[in-house]
């Protein structure tokens, strides 16, 4: 691992030396943008100046691109987490590794005492969506291999860039408090945060800034996303010769299939905020042997108040299927349980002020040309990258259901809001090759850099303005009275460290060897 990290450092240094830095970021912002604003106090100005340096834009851009190349799936992010940790340790952060029983989970800290401000960061990829960088037609690097189809390569990197900028300002201006970065693995499978919460890693934290890559530059407050329980149901039966003596066997696969039939009939009678989907992970080896073991992996989603009832009804489907097939429902392995996201208004307003301060990056003609050619391929509007930040949006009063994030779990422990930073192409689809292809190179670098600026500025506001932080904490305390935290994760659940291991081993070496040229 040490040799690997060293070679990465050499690679990054080499790239700095070879590439001209002047073209990376327009310097216009320095002259007439946020640095000219009168309300900037010195510590904030210093952090923004640090991040505005084109050498620093490139440094973190290269880290993001390397993590993009590794494309490591959840729980297998060994190289990605090591690179982030090394960068933080080089900057003087102390890093606790293997947090909450997960080898790729870490917490980096600098400073001491209160207040404690945290930034969340992710770095895992998605299966099956390998794609060449900056190529506007589907063209995998390795067919079937993982790819960064949600921008998590940019997000962990933006997070470490921001805490490093904050630390430099805290040091220079003697600011009291602690800045932390929470390296959070396996977000795509919504795994790490409930285990981190259970371990108490957020207990001493006053406020947390979350971030996600986007085509937008925005934040919001209120309740969104779906709560989720992710569980693998395993049926046991009896083997037999499928043709010679099928009456002697009991097919575990029948158990799985009947469970799925029952769950699909259940849909009609679930409240419309639900989402229910599954994959069969184990279904026998060959048709001529009755399978005695079969497994199906379910995501059961609904609002916080309806999740447990929906999950119970899915378990009823499994039990009914076992009776009907003459098999046994052997185990239900809960991988994760997560609440909806409850974003804090005071945090979102603070982030919003800093989005307005930093402003949308300026995109070059070649970046916009790429975006337009991708949009054309996807049949989307050929607008290029966005020019302006979106208007502030009030939360929706109607719950419609949708995806989930394990950030939801943290939002019930400490005040949190999410920054969506730009860099992805409008019209590109999440968890799809079109997002993979655009998450690399100069536009991604600018986007994550703009995100790092907003997070650094927000963290410094929270560290230096005790009245602001107190108001945010009061809002959270009031909200907690009606939304007390009760985990969905069963006490006996343990992090599924084996998740994706075989799949990642299949592709790891081939992916690591590839250094694509982001230009
Ligand atoms: Zn994501």
Q: How far apart are CA 399 and CA 464, in angstroms?
A: 36
Q: How confident is the model at residue 516 (pLDDT cuts 50, 70, 90)?
A: low
Residues flanking ion ligand 1, Cβ below 5 Å:
150
pLDDT at 468: 97
Higher-confidence residue of 5 and 369: namely 369
pLDDT at 510: 83
CA of 325 to the centre of ligand 1 (A): 38
* Mean pLDDT value of segment 12-20: 42
pLDDT at 297: 98
Q: How confident is the model at residue 40 (pLDDT cuts 50, 70, 90)?
A: confident
pLDDT at 4: 44
Span 339-375, pLDDT tens digits: 999 999 999 999 999 999 999 999 999 999 999 999 9
Span 495-512, pLDDT tens digits: 999 999 999 999 988 887
CA of 408 to the centre of ligand 1 (A): 13
Span 410-453, pLDDT tens digits: 999 999 999 999 999 999 999 999 999 999 999 999 999 999 99
pLDDT at 515: 59
Sheet arrangement for strand 275-282: 275-282, 293-302, 227-236, 328-338
Q: How far apart are CA 189 and CA 314, in angstroms?
A: 19
pLDDT at 37: 53
CA of 404 to the centre of ligand 1 (A): 9
Structure tokens at 375: 């949009």
Span 77-86, pLDDT tens digits: 999 999 999 9
CA of 431 to the centre of ligand 1 (A): 8
CB-CB contact of 156 with 122 (8 Å): yes
CA of 150 to the centre of ligand 1 (A): 5
Q: How confident is the model at residue 171 (pLDDT cuts 50, 70, 90)?
A: very high
- Average pLDDT for the chain: 92
Structure tokens at 109: 């800290």
pLDDT at 57: 97
Asked if residue 178 has pLDDT above 80, the reply is yes
CA of 472 to the centre of ligand 1 (A): 26
Q: How confident is the model at residue 29 (pLDDT cuts 50, 70, 90)?
A: very low
CA of 148 to the centre of ligand 1 (A): 9
CA of 157 to the centre of ligand 1 (A): 14
Asked if residue 291 has pLDDT above 60, the reply is yes
Higher-confidence residue of 239 and 5: namely 239
CA of 188 to the centre of ligand 1 (A): 6
CA of 235 to the centre of ligand 1 (A): 32
CA of 274 to the centre of ligand 1 (A): 20
CA of 284 to the centre of ligand 1 (A): 33
Q: How many CB atoms lie within 10 A of CB 286?
A: 7
CA of 176 to the centre of ligand 1 (A): 33
Q: What percent of the chain has pLDDT over 70?
A: 91
* Mean pLDDT value of segment 38-44: 78
CA of 405 to the centre of ligand 1 (A): 8
pLDDT at 288: 97
Q: How many CB atoms lie within 10 A of CB 323?
A: 12
Given 3-state DSSP classes, what are the helix, strand and coil percentages for the chain, each rounded to the nearest 5? 45, 20, 40
Between the alpha carbon of residue 388 and those of residues 356, 361, 370, the distances in Å are: 10, 9, 19
Q: How confident is the model at residue 401 (pLDDT cuts 50, 70, 90)?
A: confident
pLDDT at 162: 98
445-461 burial code (b ≥16 CB/10 A, e <16): bbbbbbbbbbbbbbbbb
* Mean pLDDT value of segment 326-348: 98
CA of 87 to the centre of ligand 1 (A): 22
* Mean pLDDT value of segment 299-318: 98
CA of 364 to the centre of ligand 1 (A): 26
Asked if residue 9 has pLDDT above 60, the reply is no
Q: How confident is the model at residue 18 (pLDDT cuts 50, 70, 90)?
A: very low
CA of 490 to the centre of ligand 1 (A): 24
* Mean pLDDT value of segment 456-474: 97
Closest CA to 132 of 444, 434, 509: 434
Predicted TM-score of the model (pTM): 0.91
CA of 214 to the centre of ligand 1 (A): 9
Q: How far apart are CA 296 and CA 317, in angstroms?
A: 12
């Amino acid at each position: 691992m040490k040799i690997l990290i060293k070679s990465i450092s050499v690679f990054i240094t080499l790239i700095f030396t070879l590439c001209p830095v002047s073209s990376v970021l327009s310097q216009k912002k320095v002259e007439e943008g946020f640095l000219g604003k009168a309300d900037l106090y010195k510590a904030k100005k210093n952090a923004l100046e640090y991040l505005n340096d084109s050498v620093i834009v490139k440094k973190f851009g290269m880290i993001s691109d390397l993590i993009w190349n590794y494309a490591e799936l959840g729980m297998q992010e060994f190289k990605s987490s090591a690179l982030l940790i090394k960068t933080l340790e080089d900057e003087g952060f102390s890093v606790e590794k293997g947090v909450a029983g997960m080898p790729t989970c870490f917490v980096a800290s600098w400073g001491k005492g209160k207040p404690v401000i945290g930034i969340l960061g992710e770095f895992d990829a998605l299966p099956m969506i390998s794609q060449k960088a900056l190529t506007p037609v589907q063209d995998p690097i390795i067919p079937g291999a993982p790819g960064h189809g949600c921008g998590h390569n940019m997000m962990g990197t933006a997070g470490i860039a921001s805490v490093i900028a904050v630390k430099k300002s805290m040091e220079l201006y003697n600011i009291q408090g602690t800045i932390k970065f929470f390296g959070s693995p396996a977000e795509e499978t919504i795994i790490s945060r409930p285990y981190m919460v259970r371990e108490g890693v957020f207990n001493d934290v006053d406020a947390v800034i979350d971030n996600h890559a986007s085509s937008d530059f925005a934040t919001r407050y209120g309740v969104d996303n779906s709560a989720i329980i992710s569980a693998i149901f395993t049926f046991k039966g009896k083997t037999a010769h499928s043709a010679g003596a099928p009456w002697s066997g009991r097919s575990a696969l029948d158990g799985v299939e009947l469970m799925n039939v029952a769950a699909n009939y259940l849909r009609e009678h679930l409240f419309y905020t639900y989402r229910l989907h599954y994959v069969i992970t184990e279904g026998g080896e060959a048709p001529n042997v009755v399978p005695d073991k079969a497994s199906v992996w379910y995501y059961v989603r609904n609002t916080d108040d309806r999740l447990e009832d929906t999950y119970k009804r899915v378990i009823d489907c499994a039990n009914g299927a076992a009776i009907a097939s003459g098999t046994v429902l052997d185990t239900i392995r809960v991988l994760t349980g997560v609440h909806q996201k409850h974003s804090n208004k005071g945090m979102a307003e603070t982030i919003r002020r800093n989005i307005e301060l930093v402003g949308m990056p300026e995109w070059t003609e070649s970046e916009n040309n790429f975006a337009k050619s991708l949009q054309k391929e996807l049949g989307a509007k050929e607008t290029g990258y966005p020019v302006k930040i979106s208007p502030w949006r009030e939360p929706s009063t109607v719950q419609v259901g949708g995806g989930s994030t394990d950030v939801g779990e943290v939002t019930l422990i400490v005040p949190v809001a999410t920054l969506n930073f730009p860099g992805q192409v409008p019209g590109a689809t999440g968890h799809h090759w079109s997002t993979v292809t655009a998450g690399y190179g100069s536009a991604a670098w600018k986007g994550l850099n703009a995100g790092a600026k907003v997070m650094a500025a927000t963290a410094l506001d929270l560290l230096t303005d005790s009245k602001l932080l107190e108001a945010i904490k009061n809002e959270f305390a009031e909200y907690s009275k009606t939304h007390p935290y009760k985990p969905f994760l069963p006490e006996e659940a343990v992090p599924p460290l084996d998740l994706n291991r075989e799949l990642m081993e299949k592709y790891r070496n081939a992916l690591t060897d590839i250094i694509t040229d982001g230009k």
